[in-house]
Structure 1
Amino acid sequence: MTQITVTFSLETELMADVLDALQRAAHAIVRRHGAAFRRLDRKISAIVEGVSPIDAPTLQYLGDGRFVLIPPRQLMDIVNEAHSLGVI
């Protein structure tokens, strides 16, 4: 009897890094003042509270049965904004 097996791997590091950056930004922004920081805080809170819908993560095929989990654009935009404001 022949048995065929297929092996897939899912790399989740990129998604984990984005979620970690969002968490760090949420903690650091409390100590900041100004309209831009308040706006960023509201964006993060809306996602955490489920008020602001976000797209599902996507899968990118890398070959040889390997996939990478790509974070939604909304999360990436917030992380980029936090970087540009110097929060993280």
Structure 2
Amino acid sequence: MEIVVGALTAAFVAALVIGMVVRAVRAPRGQRARAAFGPIMGAGETYQELHTGQRGLQDSVIEAIAEQEQRPARTDADDGDGNGTGPRG
């Protein structure tokens, strides 16, 4: 029984390593590490979300971008009164 569990564990680890190597080789230059480790990092983030009950980093970033797109951009010339005269001083 111990030999079977050991063999299955070794096969699983070998499949992970082979998959990471294939993804790294196929990825464009400069993004190989991200391509190779991306699925493992995503799985870790999902585990953390389920374990802690909080949103992950990717969900938080997506939500922040959506909020920024909904609000109008403020400039230095805008003091909030709508006439674009800039800060009073």
Fold match by TM threshold 0.5: no
Larger radius of gyration: 2
- Higher RCO (CA-CA < 8 Å; seq separation 6+): 1
User: Which TM-score applies when normalising by structure 2?
Assistant: 0.31
The structure carrying a bigger helix percent of its residues is 2
